[in-house]
Amino acid sequence: MSSNNNKLAVLHDVTKVYQTGVVKVEALQGINLTLEREKFSFIVGPSGSGKTTLLNILGCIDVPSSGRFTLLNQEIGGLNDNQLADFRNHHIGYIFQNFNLMAVLSAYENVEYPLILKNIAKKERHQRVSEILDSVGLSKRQHHRPAELSGGEQQRVAIARALAKRPDLILADEPTANLDSKTGAEIIDLMLLMQDHYKTSFIFSTHDMEVMQHANEIITIKDGKIESVNTTIMKQKEGV
């Protein structure tokens, strides 16, 4: 097996500069990073350190100011806008801090929606949505709208929605920031379980110390630079 195939992302001297009028912010200052597939990685660092900027680049939502970025063996800088949108749609799922669910749709419909956009037939949609809602423990609440669900339940719907299209990579920017610590820990545990089950790669940002303990790779970033990359033993959910 070519070792190249196991690479999720390779960043080479990636910088990001925000220019607002005369003010220039160097949010990322020469990031060199290689991430393997099927890992649960955390980007940690204080507020303003560049976590969101780095996640947006990894998620192909934003592009570097300079440097090279390869995701799933695809040189991202070589894609035009349509190709990039297509690449995102096929390969990446997103989970947001504020869940970003559609208020008028039920839990079921929220999870189904991206599959409709991917032109997946109704029967297969039904099978996938039911399976994934079951995995996240929400079968009984599938006909409820977001306003009728707790924050933790809404984040479960968001996780199910991201997983339903079976992406290679799921990104989440501080996914537990709007949850209490107990619910946040439950959500991380659920994501670990889903990562193990679906073999999706997960990359999260957080500045929550408690949440960090669950990672198997921690990338620490400070002032737009990588401070350290630590691979740790992940908490085992189902024995060794």
Binding site for ligand ADP (CB under 6 A): 18, 20, 25, 27, 45, 47-53
Nearest residue to Mg ion by CB is 52
Question: Which lies closer to ligand ADP via its Cβ, residue 109 or residue 217?
Answer: 217
**176 touches Mg ion by CB under 5 A:** no
- Residue 195, classified by CB atoms within 10 Å of its CB into exposed (0-12), middle (13-18) or buried (19+), is buried
Question: Which lies closer to ligand ADP via its Cβ, residue 48 or residue 137?
Answer: 48
CB of 217 to ligand ADP, least distance (A): 18
Question: Which lies closer to ligand ADP via its Cβ, residue 112 or residue 174?
Answer: 174
CA distance 152 to 180: 9
CB of 203 to ligand ADP, least distance (A): 13
The entry of Mg ion, ligand ADP, none near residue 49 (CB within 5 to 8 angstroms by kind) is ligand ADP
**For strand 217-222 and strand 225-231, is the pairing parallel, antiparallel, or unpaired?**
antiparallel
For Mg ion, which residue of 49, 52, 70, 195 counts as binding (CB under 5 A)? Answer: 52
Question: Which lies closer to Mg ion via its Cβ, residue 3 or residue 20?
Answer: 20
Stretch of residues binding Mg ion (CB under 5 A), selected from 51-59, 104-112, 125-133, 164-172: 51-59
Phi-psi label, residue 105: left if phi above 0, alpha if psi -120 to 50, beta otherwise: beta
Question: Which lies closer to ligand ADP via its Cβ, residue 89 or residue 97?
Answer: 97
CB of 97 to ligand ADP, least distance (A): 11
Cα 77 from chain centre: 20
CB of 72 to Mg ion, least distance (A): 24
Which amino acid, 169? L
The entry of ligand ADP, Mg ion, none near residue 25 (CB within 5 to 8 angstroms by kind) is ligand ADP
Question: Which lies closer to Mg ion via its Cβ, residue 177 or residue 234?
Answer: 177
CB of 211 to Mg ion, least distance (A): 14
Stretch of residues binding Mg ion (CB under 5 A), selected from 43-51, 80-88, 100-108, 154-162: 43-51
Q: Name residue 16's beta-bridge partners.
A: 28
DSSP labels, 125-136: HHHHHHHHHHHT
CA distance 141 to 120: 23
DSSP labels, 33-80: EEEETT-EEEEE--TTSSHHHHHHHHTTSS--SEEEEEETTEEGGG--
Which amino acid, 227? E
Dump strand ranges (E) for 81-216: 92-95, 169-173, 201-206
Q: Cβ(171)–Cβ(58) under 8 Å?
A: yes
Q: Dig out the tokens for 92 from the structure.
A: 């990446």
* Positions that interact with Mg ion (CB under 5 A): 51-52
